[in-house]
Amino acid sequence: MARICLFDLLPIELLQMIFSYFLAHEIFLSFIDVSDYVNATLLSYAAYQLDLKLIEKSQLNSFFYCIRPEQIISLTLSHDNDTSHLSIYFLSIFRLEQFIRLRSITFIDIKYELIESIFNNLHKLSQLRSLSFDIENIKYKYEIFNIDFPAKLNQLNSFLFSVFVQILPHLKRVHLNNGDLLKSISLPHLHHLKLKKCSLNQLEAIFQHTPQLKSLDVCLRFENQFSQIVLSSVQLIRLNLTIENYSVSINQLEQLLLNLPYLKHFEVNANGRNLADGQQWQILTRNLITFNFKFNTNLDLNERTLHSFRTPYWLEEKHWFVAYQNNCLFTVSRIASIHMIISSSTYVYTTAPNITYVNESITKLTIEAIPTQNQIRYTHIEILNLQCSISHEELISIIDLRQVKHLFILSLVDLLKLMPFEQLLPRICKLTILNDLTMDMIKQIRYYQFEQIRELDISLNYENKNYIMKKIVYVFPFIERISYRNYLHSIQDMFRFIYGFEHLRSTYFYTYLIFPNIARNIYRNPEFPIDISWQFVEDNDFLYHIFSSSNCRQINRSIKVSVRLTFTIEILICRHLFIIFRCCNQLKIFIGYNN
């Protein structure tokens, strides 16, 4: 009897509704060749969301045979170290103007030389309604740094402004690094705006040009100590506000809220001294549907601090619960993720009817000392930082280890306290060892293997580095990414430290080596034709990439090297050569394999 596919019984509209919950590559991996009916639905579906940061090239090739540009409504182009080749390959096959139904486009670490060709065609996307782009993550050609870079940067800003003037007035959703280019552009249709950083003056100007703005997510930076927050909107419904480098008062936040009469959802993360006033917040938040906050204060608060948050308004009408721990006052929310630090004297004060309410929002836990009075057994921890020696029994009384993905431990031998490891921590994939690895540690653990670990962050005793690394390869046989916090003494050591890891994709080092000497030696070597680019990392910090299509002969497979300089270098090793650096006073090297 012929096998019946249950998907064939579903109407095409329902199948397409199911597809809408997945990215394009996930749809094809999950549903291709399930049945002829499903295949036909895949070919006719016209709302694919394609993210090139998450897709493998092998998937991309087969994907292109099944899909046409006009079927894609959302596109993410990434030029980071792992996925740059995919975006370049993608753009060599398709022209941007072919995506006639594209509604959303996101750029991640875009290359400077591609900006003009891409952005000049954005106005041809008549259906485009959403743009995400971070100007500080642009990768520049190395030569640009050696010529008049400020002039080049001004030229780039002028070009982007001319493009934004054309396209932004038609968009409903915009996510940019800062608000500088927006302050003089009319945005009549903009509903959702996210800015990584923005000055108060810029934001006030933007509010004058966004009459339909309904949602704002912004990190606000103040120019002086006595700024008043004067933002007025009768349309804004949702505000997610982070305030940096400034101690804000409740009076300033009151002034803000009084000018936003239709605000329904408010989330704020700020520093301040007089923010723990439940009565005042009750007056200010009466019309809100959701209200979440995290207030850091240098005041030593206590249980009495929460009395003003225990009124019927907070507990019965709004069901908003508040907690205080380690100079941090915060709302207890299933949405917001909280990092909790506990020590021997740690105590959590809360207005919640049960302490387990607090537990549900804590996903990262640091244990500095074993608490004398433990109130909570944490059951949602994904990142666990153990900064003290603790027994197996004590640990499982505090935390359910089954959700932990990233574990910090003091010593490598602390793993022996967590045996059987795979049963106790079934989801763990990343391990950070805080203290140096020594010969004694290695001898105690050399016959064990931890096959779950894919990412490893370590520093090691340099005198015994060769022996230690040989054993580490055995103890952690499936490592894909490894970070060395040691300062590297030679390029030869760099290669020794990656030898033997069969599954390695990337490695990070620190070093005192002088980058210009490395760059000069590689640059002048005819066997290493290179392409150098760079980008901003932070204020006055740069990240450099040097790319070569040559193979490296020191290792039995082709390599890619990348260096990051701070007087730091970070070197990535794979089939091609990268060198990245940023200016500071130490050197960091990143090395990695790529498939």
Dist CA 383 CA 367 (whole Å): 11
Interval 154-193: pLDDT, tens: 888 889 999 999 999 999 999 998 888 898 899 999 999 9
Q: Model's pTM, two decimal places?
A: 0.76
Is pLDDT at 526 greater than 50 in this prediction?
no
Yes or no: say if 241 and 267 are a contact pair by the CB < 8 Å rule. yes
Q: Is 79 among the domain residues?
A: yes
DSSP state, residue 272: -
CA distances from 520 to 148, 491, 511, 525, 527 (A): 21, 14, 17, 8, 13
Share of the chain above pLDDT 90, in %: 39
pLDDT band for position 590 (50/70/90)?
Answer: very low
Interval 107-126: pLDDT, tens: 987 877 788 888 999 999 99
Q: Is 524 among the domain residues?
A: yes
Dist CA 77 CA 88 (whole Å): 9
Q: Tokens 């792992």 map to which residue? A: 82
pLDDT band for position 516 (50/70/90)?
Answer: very low
Q: Is 339 among the domain residues?
A: no
Q: Is 522 among the domain residues?
A: yes
DSSP state, residue 511: E
- Among 45-49, 136-140, 210-214, 312-316, name the one with the lowest average pLDDT: 136-140
Q: Is the dihedral of CA 514, 518, 521, 524 positive or negative?
A: negative
pLDDT of res. 57? 66
pLDDT of res. 510? 65
pLDDT band for position 216 (50/70/90)?
Answer: very high
Interval 32-85: pLDDT, tens: 888 999 989 998 999 999 998 887 766 776 677 778 899 999 999 887 655 556
Q: Is 420 among the domain residues?
A: no
pLDDT of res. 80? 64
pLDDT of res. 464? 84
- Among 40-44, 330-334, 418-422, name the one with the lowest average pLDDT: 330-334
Q: Is 593 among the domain residues?
A: yes
Please tell me which residue, 160 or 304, carries the higher pLDDT value: 160
Dist CA 446 CA 475 (whole Å): 6
What DSSP assignment string belongs to 100-129? Answer: TT--EEEEES-BHHHHHHHHTTGGG-TT--
What long-range pairs does 380-386 form, CB within 8 A, spacing at least 24? 382/406, 383/408, 384/408, 386/410, 386/414
Q: Which of 171, 200, 223 is the last residue of a domain?
A: 171
How many residues are listed for the chain in this entry? 595
Q: Tokens 């809220």 map to which residue? A: 257
DSSP state, residue 315: I
pLDDT band for position 595 (50/70/90)?
Answer: very low
Mean pLDDT, rounded, for 350-357: 81
Rounded to 5, what percent of the chain is helix, strand, coil?
A: 35, 25, 40
439: exposed, middle or buried (Cβ count in 10 Å: 0-12, 13-18, 19+) = middle
Other beta carbons less than 10 A from residue 354's beta carbon: 9
Distance of CA 424 to the CA centre of its chain: 28
Phi, psi of 51 (to 5 degrees): -120, 105
Q: What region, left, alpha or beta, does residue 33 occupy, with left being phi > 0 and alpha being psi -120 to 50 degrees?
A: left
Comparing CA positions, the residue from 298, 291, 363 lying closest to residue 328 is 298
Please tell me which residue, 225 or 99, carries the higher pLDDT value: 99
Q: Which range among 214-218, 293-297, 419-423 has the greatest average pLDDT?
A: 214-218
Interval 426-446: pLDDT, tens: 999 999 999 999 999 999 998
Dist CA 563 CA 5 (whole Å): 52
Is pLDDT at 487 greater than 90 in this prediction?
no
pLDDT of res. 305? 77
Q: Which of 111, 138, 171 is the last residue of a domain?
A: 171
pLDDT of res. 508? 74
Is pLDDT at 13 greater than 70 in this prediction?
yes
Is pLDDT at 538 greater than 50 in this prediction?
no
Cis bond before residue 528 (omega within 30° of 0): no
H helix intervals, 259-341: 278-284, 312
pLDDT band for position 317 (50/70/90)?
Answer: very high
H helix intervals, 384-543: 392-398, 421-424, 439-445, 465-475, 491-498, 515-523
Phi, psi of 506 (to 5 degrees): -155, 150
Please list the residues that pair with 455 across neighbouring strands.
430, 481
pLDDT of res. 498? 77
pLDDT of res. 140? 60
Yes or no: say if 425 and 418 are a contact pair by the CB < 8 Å rule. yes
pLDDT of res. 124? 93
Dist CA 139 CA 545 (whole Å): 8
pLDDT of res. 46? 93
pLDDT of res. 356? 74
Yes or no: say if 341 and 309 are a contact pair by the CB < 8 Å rule. no
pLDDT of res. 519? 46
Q: Is 450 among the domain residues?
A: no
Residue 59 host element (H or E): helix 57-66
Instruction: Tally the domains of the chain.
Output: 2
Q: Is 523 among the domain residues?
A: yes
- Among 273-282, 293-302, 407-416, 434-443, name the one with the lowest average pLDDT: 293-302
Yes or no: say if 129 and 101 are a contact pair by the CB < 8 Å rule. no
Comparing CA positions, the residue from 528, 401, 549 lying closest to residue 85 is 549
Helix (H, G, I), strand (E, B) or coil at 584: coil
pLDDT of res. 149? 65
Dist CA 301 CA 297 (whole Å): 9
What DSSP assignment string belongs to 351-402? Answer: -SSSTHHHHTTEEEEEESS--SS----B---SEEEE-S---HHHHHHHB-GG
Q: Locate 250 and state its tokens.
A: 């409740």
Q: Which of 171, 204, 232 is the last residue of a domain?
A: 171
Q: What region, left, alpha or beta, does residue 567 occupy, with left being phi > 0 and alpha being psi -120 to 50 degrees?
A: beta
Comparing CA positions, the residue from 459, 470, 414 lying closest to residue 434 is 459
Domain that holds residue 508: 484-595
Average pLDDT over all residues of the chain: 79
DSSP state, residue 286: T
Q: Which range among 304-308, 477-481, 580-584 has the greatest average pLDDT?
A: 477-481
pLDDT band for position 557 (50/70/90)?
Answer: very low
